[in-house]
A and B are shown apart, each in its own frame.
Chain A
Amino acid sequence: MPPKRKNDVAVKVEDVGMEVDAEIDSGSEDEARRRAKNRRAKPQRKAKQPSEDEEDEDEDETPRRKGRRKKTKARAKDDDEDDDDEDNRSVKSKTSKASRKKAPKDNEEDSEGEGDKKKRGKTVSKKEKEQQNKEKKGNVKGKAGQSKGGEKDKKKKNGSSSSSSGSDDESLSEGEMEALKEQVEEKKKLVATLRNKPWRMKRRLDVLKEAQDFVEKFEGALGKGKGRRLYAFKVMMAKKFIKFKRDFENFKTACIPWERKIKDVESHFGSSVASYFIFLRWMYGLNMVLFGLMFGLVILPEVLMGLPYGTIARKTVPRAEQDTAMDYSVLFDFEGYCKYSILFYGFYNNEKQIGLLKFRLPLSYLLVGVGIFGYSLMVVIRTMARNANEGGDGADEGDFTFSWKMFTSWDYLIGNPETADNKYASITTSFKESIVDEQENQKDENIHLRRFLRVLANFLILCCLGGSGYLIYFVVKRSQDFADMDNADLSWFEKNEVEFVMSLLGLVCPPLFETIAELEDYHPRIALKWQLARIFALFLGNLYTFLFALFDEVNEKLEREKIIKNETELALAHYYANYSSFYNTTDVPPPNVHPADAIRGPCWETGVGIEFVKLIVSDVQVSYLTILIGDFLRAVIVRFLNYCWCWDLEAGFPSYGEFDISGNVLGLIFNQGMIWMGAFYAPGLVGVNLLRLLSSMYYQCWAVMSCNVPHERVFKASRSNNFYMGLLLLVLFLSLLPVVYTIMTLSPSFDCGPFSGQEKMYDVVMQAIDQDLPAFIGNIFTYATNPGLIIPGVLLMVLALYYLNAVSEGYQQANTDLKKKMQAARDEEKNRRNNKDSTNQVMKDLEDLLPNKSLIPRPIEEEPPLDEIKVEKVSKPTKTKPGSSGNGVNLQKEVSLAAPNPRGPVTHGPGPRGGPPLNTRGPQPGPARGRGRGGHPRR
């Protein structure tokens, strides 16, 4: 692209170039004639003779081609003419104005024409030609528009010339400028959409260059006088902005992490496995934001502005624990110093405002805790909506079984021979399955056995679920008993029983389900859904059992806390009474007790937080160990023991592991659920999770690439993405419940955490509204919480819900109607086509009876035109089942029902019957009829 400045000059030159050229090259009679006409036309136009105008325009068209020649000359003279340009400007004769006005227009046309010619000159495919035609049309239109503009402009000029003698130095008048602007816009649009054009790159580059040159050339010419400079500035800024946007895009794509890694996985294992990693990455992004919220608004303020460790009881390790507080085993259980750190709820102080900024930490804590849910909800729903839009318009599966299999089943991302082989196999199988389906529509033998087996399988799985639920409940109960016993007496297993059992269940049950599912003999895709649902139920059951057990514990702790609270208050009262009676003063200083020795309650929130953190950590350990043993060790053994083993380990029994997508995705989802639940009680949990996801990304990527083999049946991930999101949403909702429950109903611990001293946690909000906001907002709030307002509000919402539901149902109805219509249209089309043959069978019989044979199209067997698709040779009109093609007896019904065939006029007379059929009728060979885009030559 030539530099801009120079171009500007060029534009100016060309504005006048024509004129200069004309004066020199007076031999050109076209030019002369035009000039003369122009002069002549003016007075005429003053007399208002539009017809002359038109004629003028017509003649303008003709010399256009010749004009181009001159323009090149003009370009050659760039330098001297620069001066001429100045001169001309000062002269401002009417003629010069007129021709100047004309010149740019002509130039435009020329460039267009040139482009056109260039395009035409190329050897192009049919399609391209078509495109060209369109463009040509566009050009013509553009020209028409231009000439119109020109006309307008001339008229305007008439007005101006008659009124003012010529103080204006505008080089372009309004109408012309409009036209120019339009064209420039058009070109810009072309540039923007160029990448979507199905052209060869070379052509695209050419067109781009042309368009850009054009824009460059005339953008500067737009605007006038002072406005021109402003316009140029605007254009420049627009260009800068585009450049900036592009750089920013580049930067943004460069910032997306793990792109190459995921690509590697994708090429080895297909898009389904990659979808897990993409999901993981998405989750990582979400957690980054959550962590940012938590860290920026809760943890950081407390660290920077809150009281340091050891100043008050809640921030100090109790005296009894201090000896062991730094032991690794203790820290690993998140006791000791861990327990009294910013990781957990208990550490935060209930001081209303902290630091210089008067940061309201308790309020912030509550709002962030709730905000995390709000943000997650928003993001998940938004992603779901976007995913939903992306999917096709959901045509019925049955419509295009074979076509889709044929055209979309190969995953172009596959770049690994093994995966490719599996894919070939699975495609072949699926084709064979469909063929079998097609050939014999369901011949269910022994449906009773199948049903029995399915019921049995479901029963077994229900038993498993129930058993696992009970096991967890049992273990949690037992752990509460353990908690009462002395810590030293317990073995490691006894201390970590809950987490251990939960992880073990998560490990053992899914394969068990899979084995049981073998009984059912579902289609693999359906089986996958069942499997997912079952694992989901398992996880959910486990989680909720765990939660209920936890609530038992919390209630117990609350009871205990009440007693301790009473005791402390009693002791405090005693102390005050004694102090005042001893010193005989009412000014009692607070008791001087070292924070480590203070009496403290059990702080159930921290307890819950610790449970969650431990759960997450043990989950990480178990899953990493599983990968290490189940995949890595297995792979190592299979690989190296294979040399000295009696059977083929790689192909035979243990073989290599497969990547368990459903299990991993569900694991991730439930992990996130626990984060959502636990984040309120353990602000540090989000950070821990961030680490987990980060390490998981690298670790699992490595594990997959090094020790897993692609799935036996490679399936695509396409729609399941939203399925995962749906599960995530469900889990989000389910994890929202307990947290909201605790915030709204349970009373916080009296001596730890940001809400200590409040009756309920949400009281902080109430306080903030009451005390810190202006009174009228408080009033508004009181009104808003009034039942008299809430009930109508709820009613209104219900009504809105009802209305929206009705509307959506209406849309759905319309949708199905349209679908039906489309289906009907399709069927009709098909019938027509089929009838062609079958009708002909009947017609054949009828033909002998009818006198005028020429009216009846002769029966023919479709003979494929040469340029048709090859398969056509074998494609007899379908629906004529094999065997029935000879006589159309069984198809007569269809004949009578179907609409008559659309028939073109019969151009040929009937040939001799009985001979080889000729192609005289029916769809003419060549491009598909009636379709705009036309047939594509087939070889």
Chain B
Amino acid sequence: MGNKQTIFTDEQLDAYQDCTFFTRKEILRLHGRYHELAPHLVPMDYTNEPDCKVPLSLIVNMPELKENPFRNRIVESFSEGGDGNLSFNEFVDMFSVLSEMAPRELKAIYAFKIYEDLEKTLNRLTKEELTPEEVELVCDKTIEEADLDGDNKLSFADFENMISRAPDFLSTFHIRI
């Protein structure tokens, strides 16, 4: 226990618990994982909120993300600068949104961000095994299905409407850590 106390103050842990869907233990574990990624960069002591970031290349190699075709997009979406380097806060944020407890609305917002580019999304999803014509067709169809306001693009409202009815979205859009 003594070891744990030095990583975060109680206030910090409480604040994190208020801001995320994690329990105290999980936050400490997350810190452990974060520290593991770059032991030389990340200090063990977080009581004075050091400013350090772990680069994208290290984060996407986590086993939880490694096989995910959208790993780069995910990490980029959660980084404030958009470059994919995550501070611990952003790191916790990412897994909080992807946790099981996060509500559909919150997840939808980030999913919208992650799936920004339909074509790329599709190519990542199928490892580029569809022909360009097929990709075009699928993208067309997707937009046709989901686009409610008829502007030939997916606004967030369209996206949310579509995702709110998807039976699998909640069960698949989460990562356990």
Contacts and interface: CB of A to CB of B under 8 A. Distances in A.
Interface of A: 1, 191, 194-198, 200-202, 204-205, 208-209, 246, 249-250, 253-254, 263, 266-267, 271, 390-395, 399-404, 406-417, 419-420, 424, 427-428, 431-432, 434-435, 438, 716-719, 826, 829-830, 832-833, 862, 868-872, 874-879, 923, 927-936, 938-939
Given A402-B145, A409-B172, 17 more contacts: A1-B11, A195-B20, A195-B96, A200-B90, A246-B14, A408-B173, A412-B98, A412-B175, A413-B172, A416-B67, A435-B137, A875-B136, A875-B139, A875-B143, A878-B143, A928-B151, A936-B155
B138 A431 contact: yes
Given A250-B24, A931-B157, A871 B145 contact: no
A875 B138 CA distance: 10
Contacts of B67: 414-417, 419-420
B153 A935 contact: yes
B118 A869 contact: yes
Contacts, number: 263
B45 interface: no
B146 A403 contact: yes
B6 to A, nearest CB: 19
B117 A870 contact: yes
A408 B112 CA distance: 12
Contacts of A1: 11, 14-15
- Report the interface size class on chain B: 35 or more
Contacts of B121: 406-407
B25 interface: yes
B173 A412 contact: yes
A830 B144 contact: yes
B171 A716 contact: yes
Contacts of A829: 147-150
A928 B150 CA distance: 9
Given A201-B90, A402-B138, A412-B175, A424 B162 contact: no
A432 B172 CA distance: 21
B54 interface: no
Contact of B138 (A267, A435, A872, A929): A435
A391 B164 CA distance: 10
A760 to B, nearest CB: 49
A201 B126 CA distance: 33
15 contacts: A198-B109, A267-B176, A406-B125, A407-B111, A413-B174, A415-B66, A428-B127, A431-B138, A434-B138, A718-B167, A829-B150, A833-B150, A868-B153, A872-B143, A933-B160
Contacts of B57: none
B106 A400 contact: no
Contacts of B63: 267, 415
B150 A400 contact: no
Contact of A431 (B106, B115, B126): B126
Contact of B155 (A208, A246, A933): A933
B5 interface: no
Interface string B127-169: 1011000101111111111111111111111111011111111
Contacts of A412: 68, 98, 172-175
B134 to A, nearest CB: 6
B158 A928 contact: yes
B19 interface: yes
Nearest to B93: A201
B47 interface: no
Given A874-B139, A933-B157, A407 B115 contact: yes
A55 B163 CA distance: 51
